[in-house]
Amino acid sequence: MTEIDYETLRQVILDRGQSKRSLTALAGPPASGKSHIANALCRDLNNYSPDSAVVLPMDGYHLDDALLEKQGIRDRKGAPHTFDIAGFIHILQRISLGDEIDIAVPVFDRSLELSRAAGRLIPHTARHILVEGNYLLLDQPEWRDLASFFTTTVMITAPRSLLERRLMQRWQNLSPTQAREKCESNDLPNADLVMNSSMSTEFNLITGDL
């Protein structure tokens, strides 16, 4: 694994998607800055070559809260078993073909805590597909099958103390005690799983305060 900075990563992605479609895995624990990095890369790549880049967030494949409640795992939302991994693999298969069609994908609406079907288009013009999610390189059954789709793999990390602070900030609408419980019972275990059980990546990008 090679440590990389943002500008160098942007150039690597640009070079690898010049002539054909290239999928980049932007993996990392929750609150590591994946979405921030993915959106910045998308903006910069599109400034260089319009309509050439798009972000595909794994979060669109969250199982619905009603289904999680029925299965008794609502409190673990965000853990690997609360995602539609088969559906995610299927969409990556379609996107990796690079056919001359636009492909609709779901996106997660955090304000409503649900996924919106066909909320984003992957345009046929897009050569740089920036796939963003916690478990893209998780070394577990089914999840490890994702690695074959990616030309470039990046682990985005931050010090655990910084992750914890960011995760606590996500629960500002709760009391400090409730926020701490959410963080320690689900968010931090998910972060530790990503850090300790992901496959080796080509690059490592460390974030500070974003």
Q: Per-residue pLDDT tens for 148-183?
A: 999 999 999 999 999 999 999 988 888 989 989 999
Residue 99 confidence (pLDDT): 85
Instruction: pLDDT band for 101, please (50, 70, 90 cuts).
Output: very high
The residue type of 209 is: D
- Is residue 55 situated within a structural domain? yes
Q: Structural domain tally of the chain?
A: 1
- Is residue 93 situated within a structural domain? yes
Question: Would you say residue 72 has pLDDT above 90?
Answer: yes
- Is residue 121 situated within a structural domain? yes
Share above pLDDT 70 across residues of the chain, in percent, rounded to a whole number: 99
Residue 1 confidence (pLDDT): 84
User: Which helix (H) or strand (E) covers residue 24, if one does?
Assistant: strand 22-27
CATH number of the domain to which 16 belongs: 3.40.50.300
- Is residue 168 situated within a structural domain? no
DSSP letter at 112? T
- Is residue 36 situated within a structural domain? yes
User: What is Dmax (Cα atoms) for the chain?
Assistant: 52
Instruction: pLDDT band for 21, please (50, 70, 90 cuts).
Output: very high
Q: Smallest Cα–Cα separation from 79: which of 65, 62, 67, 91? A: 62
Instruction: pLDDT band for 208, please (50, 70, 90 cuts).
Output: confident
- Is residue 169 situated within a structural domain? no
- Is residue 51 situated within a structural domain? yes
- Is residue 193 situated within a structural domain? no
pTM for the predicted model, two decimal places: 0.96
Q: Contact, 130 vs 28, CB < 8 A? A: no
Structure token pair of residue 156: 């985005």
Residue 118 confidence (pLDDT): 96
Share above pLDDT 90 across residues of the chain, in percent, rounded to a whole number: 91
Structure token pair of residue 34: 């994946």
CB atoms within 10 A of CB 130: 27
CA distance linking residue 128 with residue 46, whole number of Å: 9
> What is the domain extent for residue 14?
2-159+198-206
